[in-house]
Structure 1
Amino acid sequence: MPDDLPALGAASPSAGKDEGVRAVTVTPGVANTLRLIEDQPEPAPEEGSILVEALAVGICGTDHEIISGEYGEAPPGADRLVIGHESLGRVLEDPTGTLQPGDLVAGVVRHPDPVPCSNCAVGEWDMCRNGQFTEHGIKGLPGFARDRWRLQPRFAVKLDPTLSRVGVLLEPTSVVAKAWDHIERIGHRAEWQPQTVLVTGAGPIGLLAALLATQRGLAVHVLDRATEGPKPELVAALGATYHAVPVNDLPFEPDVVVECTGAPTVVLDVMCKAGPTGIVCLAGVSSGGRSIDFDAGALNRALVLENNVVFGSVNANRRHWDLAVEALTRADQGWLGSLLTRRVPVEAYAEAYTAGPDDIKVVLEFAS
């Protein structure tokens, strides 16, 4: 079991300010430019009134893609982007009184566009229609992989101190909280009594999607390629059933599918596998560039005649972050801690961003 994060306590507003800000950065669009900058300036007050001391940052596939130069956008006027969007920190100061020094907090990743579009205008910035949103550590906003960062109060999510060791999982949990929110909205188009859920992929998103399914009292099945390592045991610990077979070999038709791999063949197979009035949520992102010989007509026939729904889901708004806090608080903390398979100090940042064979969630630690 990984070691605990440092205990929470009231922090001095000036804690660490004279030591310089370390930040993990890249040059967006240029591969292999990952660097730890030791003398970054303090976060600008314009970023938000709440000053936070970083405790940990989770690492996911998005970070690896940004490091590979596939995408990423620095803030206006900057050449480099501070990465890191899965945050956990301790409040240093909040002159608005929204939070207190020592409070555990995470930062909402996406901010609404400045126009705003019809969805951003009502707080549904995860459904932005014009693409002018910004995202910490991804698009136009500095990320959380730095010693200190700032937030506006409405983007600061308070966590219970009991989540001090696992709260870095809040961002990926918010993503699956949104997925389940939309699954349930779609399900209630008719009398809906789902019983069986298939989750494809046993990475962090898949395992958290399975967790939220078990919290709903559903029979959960998780499919992944791994036959060894921690994944089968983590699924079993949820009371779910683990499968390492092709989708078409599963002996049931799920009422709900949460697809988390983005693998094209799996995506197509689960669309065909869902039962009548089934709902398929695509939460994994495909890399593209691969053609598959597939009977699209047969898929269309099945979707239409069985009243099935396929939809995509990404990101989360503030309501989903709050739902994610509830889900993590209800969960077994030991099980959540087992998802954090490596904790790496910021001084060894390159090691943290190098994928290991048994990694589920790697955490970069900032607190001393």
Structure 2
Amino acid sequence: MPYRLVRGDEIADGILSTDPPKLLLVPGGWARAKYDLLGEQGVSEVRRYVRHGGNYLGFCGGTGLALSGPYGLGLCPWKRRAFTDRLQHACSGHMFTNVEASSDLVPGRLPEQPLIPVWWPARFEYQPHEDITVLASYSTPGPDFWVADLPLENVPKQPLSDLESQYGIRIWPEFMTDQPCIIEGKFGQGRYMLSYAHLETPASVDANHWLSHILYTMTGEEPAGGVLSVLPAWNLERLPRRWPDEDGGEALAAVKAALEDIIALGMDHLLLFRRNSWLLGWRRGIPGGYINFLYSMACQAQNLTPTKEAAEYWKASCDKFLEDMDHFRHGLAGYLLAERLAMSVPESSGDIPSDSLREQRIALFGQHMNYGGMYAKLVRVLDKVLWLTLRYGPS
């Protein structure tokens, strides 16, 4: 489908008014970061766009952004539900769901309980409201569902229940049962659909079928050949390099290789592992998500044919980027080994102080849920490379 990537400053400058899209799609991430980058004017522009008939589709962080309360656009009167236990947020994988309402945004041919993926989802603060329709709610975990670094399929249910009773902990995600995960509503003359399920997850058949249906319904476009699509599996390691050497392709290949060295080190020391072809798994407390994100960006960037603007920007940036990458790789290797030692060395032998580990992590990644440290420098460059290459889709 034709698309254009837009940044917060472009929205604040009025692009939704001067060139209104058929649909504003806001992907996952951190709602607060999106809100801050939109700024007061950008928030006002999004609200104006939807109020005057625009369509808003939000996933995960894009869903949180649309809610009411701090750092929310207020398109939906519901708020985000607070967590009473951080393990309640550490859920990932597919869940069976119950489709609860008939709507033109729900495909006619879905299984009785569609299997759709969630990746560390927040939750709605549910309250009955005449302007909000729950389209789907969670049922039971699917075969690839994890809580933190525990695969539930490999944990016997009865012994787990005994452990939960004995130690007063909650691992099995019963708190998600019957909780809404996909909703729709109206704001002024416009419409929003909000999903804590990631329907764009690669090779997730029910989810991709639903996403395709939503896109064509909200935009009025017709699918090519009348067939709704399923996203192919995304194998990061096998993405071929298309970025030409004369435009810095070898430098991007070096970045990918450096990150693969880090991932191999984490795997050798049982801190990281392969969840699937595009997602790492990690021991609880290890910043595997950050590593996975940076690696995904590097793999996807080198797989693209750059625009002139992207090639010029990367050639001007790559020498400093490689220098920063070398410092980051060295620091991250030391940090991962320190984490491994902290898990292994008995306290009586003189453990590694937790304050020291925390300081190392902040220097590398910044504070929790906020890009910072050495990592932020790398992300900003790759983010701009990708944006300059991908901002205009097929027309």
TM-score w.r.t. the length of structure 1 is: 0.26
Q: Which has the higher strand share?
A: 1
Structure number with greater Rg is: 2
Q: Which has the higher helix share?
A: 2
TM-score w.r.t. the length of structure 2 is: 0.24
